[in-house]
């Protein structure tokens, strides 16, 4: 069986994984229950620092909150990044609570409600508009209230981000405005007197191939430059999206930032001549927070069925849908799993980690090589800082919810 091949971001001592400076069993006692998610501040800060080291200083770094909107984490991230991207009215409230300057918050997503648009205009955040309807509604709100509506146009490009886990641009999409329809919409934005600030593109997610990201960023820049000729005001913001992936599965290798940094430096230099008022932004969710988080559950039962070991835990797909393979994966693969209080074990056995739900989908690890575990032991799922807690159907089967802690 192929094993996971990236460096473990957490240390261990006396057989226990150390999370947030504490041995895992002590952290579990401090939290007061399993299952829980723990997100490590030091790792979050280190990730931002490493990224800034690899990218030109002029590139603005935004955190896309949908990856992990835990309020304490968002407040922490607000002090690390240059801006926050929200995708709902409720995320907007959390971003404002976090103390982020509204000038540095942007709001994207199809089907924004009138209330959400009004919230955003009242707050003074940048709206990445995704349709002519949103433009009309914003003009109405602006006229009625006298508050300026700051808008950027989210473009559905005429290309896609190759080898992405999830494609969100190119071809027919519910996201953004088709590139060929943007000139007409820009005229309308000018006619209605909205405060046009620039463009937003987001082509895809979970990409581990630097050359695919570089190609998409180059094409995105070229497209924005072409469309800028139709803009009612100079372009001040150029959000080129993100899509940076993290390794989850055996055979995945970490993203190489060097070519991305070099390409962004070249684009920034080009923009300084061709779009001199524009600041280039990238927006990342998973890449910033995914590797800083663990999900921890406890073994309740150890069952052997016809020779195969099942570790039945108090956690499962209702807490961590992505680790069960049911959050958009085409072929189920195992997330990296550890027995967090048996880090020194040398004897491994083949075991499957399952949850308490009455469905065979409730599988957290399929036939993995793990230390022989007993009831009471702590199962850790790595790479769980993004698309975990809020991306899971926590009420399915009515078991208790997990807790989230920032450590």
DSSP 171: S
Which positions ≥6 away from 173 have C-beta within 8 Å? 156
Place of tokens 């641009």: 169
What's the closest the beta carbon of residue 290 comes to ligand PLP, in angstroms? Answer: 8
> Hey, what are 53's tokens?
């080291």
Closer CB to ligand PLP, 283 or 314, in the complex: 283
User: Which residues, 67 to 96, sit near ligand PLP by CB under 6 A?
Assistant: 67, 85
Distance CA 350, CA 373 (A): 11
Nearest residue to 372 via CA among 317, 310, 295: 310
Q: State in angstroms the smallest separation of the CB of 230 from ligand PLP.
A: 22
Contacting ligand PLP within 49-68 (CB under 6 A): 64, 66-67
Query: Which residues fall within 8 angstroms of residue 293, CB to CB, at 6 or more apart?
Result: 37, 38, 39, 40, 68, 383, 384, 385, 386, 388
Q: Of 199, 233, 221, 198, nearest to 273 (Cα)?
A: 221
Q: Please pick, from the candidates 205, 237, 334, 392, the single residue that binds ligand PLP as defined by CB under 6 A.
A: 205
Cβ atoms 102, 96 nearer than 8 A: yes
What does the per-residue mask of binding to ligand PLP show for 384-403, with x meaning CB under 6 A?
--x-----------------
State the nearest-atom distance from the C-beta of 143 to ligand PLP, in Å: 28
CB nearer to ligand PLP: give 294 or 363.
Answer: 294
Please pick, from the candidates 142, 206, 217, 392, the single residue that binds ligand PLP as defined by CB under 6 A.
206
Question: In the bound complex, what is the minimum distance in angstroms from residue 386's beta carbon to ligand PLP?
Answer: 6
Is there binding between residue 120 and ligand PLP (CB under 6 A)? Answer: no
Q: Does 298 bind ligand PLP (CB under 6 A)?
A: no
Task: Let me know: does 109 contact 131? Beta carbons within 8 Å.
Answer: no
| Least distance in angstroms from the C-beta of 262 to ligand PLP | 21
Site for ligand PLP in 130-169 (CB under 6 A): none
Q: Which stretch binds ligand PLP (CB under 6 A): 131-139, 202-210, 216-224, 344-352?
A: 202-210
Is residue 202 a contact residue for ligand PLP (CB under 6 A)? Answer: yes
Query: In terms of CB distance, is 339 or 386 closer to ligand PLP?
Result: 386
Q: Which of 108, 139, 224, 370 binds ligand PLP (CB under 6 A)?
A: 108
User: What is the size of the binding site for ligand PLP (CB under 6 A)?
Assistant: 15
Q: How far apart are CA 335 and CA 319, in angstroms?
A: 14
Q: Which of 169, 285, 325, 402 touches ligand PLP (CB under 6 A)?
A: 285
Q: Which of residues 64 and 278 has its CB atom nearest to ligand PLP in the complex?
A: 64
What angle, 0 to 180 degrees and rounded to 10, lies between the N-to-C axes of helices 41-54 and 257-274? 60
Q: Does residue 371 bind ligand PLP (CB under 6 A)?
A: no
d(CA 312, CA 383) in angstroms, rounded, equals 21
DSSP state of 264: H
CA-closest candidate to residue 67, choices 48, 40, 54, 85: 85
Q: How many residues does the chain have?
A: 407
Which residues contribute to the site for ligand PLP (CB under 6 A)? 64, 66-67, 85, 108, 202, 205-206, 242, 283-287, 386
């Amino acid at each position: 069986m192929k094993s996971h091949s990236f460096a473990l971001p957490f240390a261990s001592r006396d057989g226990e994984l150390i999370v947030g400076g504490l041995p895992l069993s002590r952290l579990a006692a401090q939290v007061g229950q399993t299952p829980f998610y723990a997100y490590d501040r030091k790792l979050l800060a280190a990730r931002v620092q490493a990224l800034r080291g690899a990218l030109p200083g002029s590139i603005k770094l935004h955190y896309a909150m949908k990856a992990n909107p835990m309020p304490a984490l968002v407040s922490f991230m607000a002090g690390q990044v240059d801006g926050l991207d929200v995708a709902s009215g409720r995320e907007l409230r959390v971003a404002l609570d976090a103390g982020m300057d509204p000038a540095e918050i942007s709001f994207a997503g199809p089907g924004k409600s009138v209330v959400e648009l009004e919230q955003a205009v009242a707050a003074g955040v940048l709206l990445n508009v995704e349709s002519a309807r949103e433009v009309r509604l914003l003009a109405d709100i602006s006229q009625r209230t006298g508050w300026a509506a700051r808008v950027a146009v989210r473009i559905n490009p005429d290309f896609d981000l190759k080898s992405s886990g999830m494609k969100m641009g190119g071809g027919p999409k519910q996201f953004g405005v088709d590139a060929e329809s943007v000139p007409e919409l820009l005229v309308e934005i000018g006619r209605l007197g909205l405060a046009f600030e620039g463009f937003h593109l987001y082509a895809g997610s979970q990409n581990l191939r630097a050359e695919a990201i570089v190609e998409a960023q180059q094409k995105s820049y070229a497209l924005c430059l072409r469309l800028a000729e139709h803009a009612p005001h100079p372009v001040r913001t150029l959000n080129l999206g993100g899509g940076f992936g993290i390794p989850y599965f055996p055979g995945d290798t970490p993203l190489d930032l060097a070519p991305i940094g070099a390409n962004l430096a070249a684009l920034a230099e080009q923009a300084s001549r061709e779009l001199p008022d524009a600041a280039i932004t990238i927006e990342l969710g998973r890449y910033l927070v995914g590797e800083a988080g663990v999900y921890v559950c406890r073994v309740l039962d150890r069952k052997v069925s016809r020779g195969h070991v099942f570790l039945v835990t108090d956690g499962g797909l209702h807490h961590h849908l992505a680790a069960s393979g049911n959050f958009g994966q085409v072929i189920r693969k195992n997330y990296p799993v550890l027995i967090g209080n048996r880090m020194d074990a040398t004897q491994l056995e083949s075991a499957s980690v399952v949850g308490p739900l009455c469905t065979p989908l409730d599988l957290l690890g399929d036939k993995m090589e793990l230390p022989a575990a007993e009831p009471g032991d702590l199962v850790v799922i790595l790479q769980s800082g993004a698309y975990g807690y809020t991306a899971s159907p926590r009420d399915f089967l009515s078991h208790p919810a997990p807790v989230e802690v920032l450590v």
